[in-house]
Amino acid sequence: MYVLRAYKTELDLNNTQRTNCARHAGAARYAYNWGLARKLEARQAGKPAPSAIDLHRELNLLKITELSWMYDVSKCAPQEALRDLDQAFAHFFRRVKEKKAGKNIKVGFPRFKSKKNGLGSFRLTGAIHVFEKAIQLPRLGVLRLKERGYLPVSSAHILSATVSEKAGRWFVSLQVEMEIPEAAGTDKPVAGVDLGINRMAQVSDGVHFENPRALKNALTKLKRVQRVVSRRQKGSANRKKALRQLARAHYRVANIRKDALHKATSLLAKTKSAIVLENLNVSGMIKNHHLAQAIADVGLYEFRRQLVYKGAWYSCEILLADRFYPSTKRCSQCGQVKPVMGLGEREYQCEHCGFVIDRDLNAAINLEQLLYVS
Ligand SMILES: [Zn+2]
């Protein structure tokens, strides 16, 4: 069985390599700060903030003209930095929501990165090879390692490498899938499960769990009550009454959802030996729809929580995919990864091998395949 692990070790760089790494970190920082400025601009102009994908496209155009120095670094460095920026915002909005819900936490708005705390870091994906004394990275070539034999050479599938600087020393952190011994005496199949809004859960074997119709009705009611609340004057008795109604509507939605989730998670934990789920905070899953977002987040979180404890009861291993694993953008047939997969596209159509498949099923199969990589 395969699990995800990170390995961090120190690099032994010559001067040229140091310069190259610093240049990559610089490009990542530049892209991050430029993207943050672009998002703030949009916000001030009252427009929706551009996503990592929008920004990367824009940045590629700028490379042709004023940012030609970026051709010297791997395109991954700025691209992954823009993804991090999206994550930083997703994290910020989540914390705001948690604070509003009464959690005693600090909420920090995403900040510009400065060189004050060192040169920073960058992340690369693609062709990464590990040798006993060295690691080979895209664009940077073969870099020597200070510690021999620590990074897993074989039987590991490398998802990404993050190179970072701290006090003049350079490190590399590998995100890998590792094989662990199979749980004893189980003949149940494994599965990947993709969670969504329209469809509650899609299993890689083709089975899916729909959202109960009662949930849709309860959500419609919830939206209506929410509108009533916003129309009532603050502090008035009528507003208090509407708020009580709203709380009840929320409670009802939560209960219906929870009940449906229980049925699905029980069945899955009993019939599978291992299940791969996407990790939480799947950015860009739904945009500009706070209610749907909130419900979806709760659903994802609750689904995972239930599966983890039920998995322990029925000896079903629950694994989480790395949050950068492109489960929706990858072709489950040939492994090709699309640069973009629009939110509205219900079908995955592979331009590489011509495979056509339901979007959610494709994602679920990709998640399941994380268990087989070698
Ligand atoms: Zn394909």
Q: pLDDT tens-digit profile of 33-92? A: 999 999 999 999 999 999 999 999 999 999 988 898 899 999 999 999 999 999 999 999
* 289 pLDDT above the threshold of 70: no
Distance, CA 364 to ligand 1 centroid (Å)?
A: 15
* 22 pLDDT above the threshold of 50: yes
Distance, CA 180 to ligand 1 centroid (Å)?
A: 29
Which residue among the candidates 80, 86, 317, 360 is catalytic per the annotation? 360
Chain-centroid distance, C-alpha 10: 27
Q: Is 147 a catalytic residue?
A: no
Residue of 123, 94, 138, 137 lying closest to 31 (CA atoms): 123
pLDDT score at 286:
47
- Percent of the chain residues topping a pLDDT of 70: 90
**192 within 8 A of 204, measured Cβ to Cβ:** yes
Which residue among the candidates 278, 297, 317, 368 is catalytic per the annotation? 278
Exposure string over 83-114, b if 16+ CB within 10 A, otherwise e: bbbbbbbbeeeebeeeeeeeeeeeeeebeebe
pLDDT score at 155:
45
Q: Which residue has the tokens 């950015």?
A: 283
pLDDT score at 374:
40
Distance, CA 337 to ligand 1 centroid (Å)?
A: 8
DSSP 8-state assignment for residue 317: E
Across the chain, mean pLDDT equals 86
- Percent of the chain residues topping a pLDDT of 90: 48
DSSP for 278-311 reads --S--TTSS-S-HHHHHHHHHHHHHHHHHHHHHH
Q: What is the pLDDT confidence band of residue 282, given thresholds at 50, 70 and 90? A: very low
Q: Is 358 a catalytic residue?
A: no
**192 within 8 A of 274, measured Cβ to Cβ:** no
**Tens of pLDDT, residues 124-182:** 998 899 988 999 999 999 999 988 777 877 646 888 999 999 888 899 998 887 665 55
**291 within 8 A of 215, measured Cβ to Cβ:** no
Residue of 174, 167, 93 lying closest to 128 (CA atoms): 174
Name the amino acid, one letter, at 289.
H
**28 within 8 A of 202, measured Cβ to Cβ:** no
Q: Is 194 a catalytic residue?
A: yes
Question: Which carries the bigger pLDDT value, residue 68 or residue 322?
Answer: 68
CA distances 32 to 26, 42, 53, 90, 167, Å, are: 10, 15, 13, 15, 21
Exposure string over 48-76, b if 16+ CB within 10 A, otherwise e: ebbbbbbbbeebeeeeeeebeebeebbbb
Distance, CA 349 to ligand 1 centroid (Å)?
A: 8
pLDDT score at 283:
44
Q: What is the pLDDT confidence band of residue 288, given thresholds at 50, 70 and 90? A: very low
CA distance 216 to 172: 47
pLDDT score at 285:
46
347: β partners: 358
Distance, CA 356 to ligand 1 centroid (Å)?
A: 8
Cα-Cα end-to-end distance for the chain: 10
Which residue among the candidates 84, 165, 177, 194 is catalytic per the annotation? 194
* 204 pLDDT above the threshold of 50: yes
CA distance 52 to 30: 14
28: β partners: none
pTM value > 0.85: no
Distance, CA 76 to ligand 1 centroid (Å)?
A: 22
Distance, CA 338 to ligand 1 centroid (Å)?
A: 9
CA distance 287 to 273: 34
Distance, CA 206 to ligand 1 centroid (Å)?
A: 18
* 183 pLDDT above the threshold of 70: no
